Amino acid sequence: MYPAELKYTRNHEYIRPNGDGTGSVGLTHYAQGQLGDVVFVGLPEIGKSFAAGEEVGTVESVKTVSEYFMPTDGEITEVNGELDAHPEYVNEDPYGKGWFVKIKIKGGLSADLLDSAAYQALVASESH
């Protein structure tokens, strides 16, 4: 449920480092489950830079509107335009078709990111 190749934030975003200084960012399986059916994802402009922890956009579900945050310092290189027509991808395939943005990582991955085991422990502690 929480792939080992991903790194996670305490706010339930993930980054999939691609090994070439880039990465894909989205919401974790846990986060999409908490939100319920996603109906809209607000995506940033390509070329915009964000610091780790900075708000990137919003996710609207049938239950609520939530912000999502940058997991590490980076510049937006691509946005998932498919989410305009298919926001349900966030629920159906959060680590595949449901990614939000691709970034050029600046200065390496944030030291605050969690590995899969630490993230699973975080989710377990929040579920009780």
Residue 1 has pLDDT above 80, yes or no: no
In angstroms, how far apart are the furthest CA atoms of the chain?
A: 40
Write out the two tokens for 17: 């480092």
Q: Pick 7-123's CATH classification: 3.40.50.720, 2.40.160.20, 3.20.20.80, 2.40.50.100.
A: 2.40.50.100
Predicted model pTM: 0.95
Q: Residue 65 and residue 20: Cα distance in Å, rounded?
A: 33
Residue 128 has pLDDT above 90, yes or no: no
Q: Residue 15 and residue 106: Cα distance in Å, rounded?
A: 13
pLDDT at 127: 78
pLDDT at 118: 97
CA torsion angle for 74, 79, 80, 82 (degrees, to 10)? Answer: 170
Write out the two tokens for 56: 């990137």
Residue 111 has pLDDT above 80, yes or no: yes
Digit-coded pLDDT (tens) for 81-108: 999 999 999 999 999 999 999 999 999 9
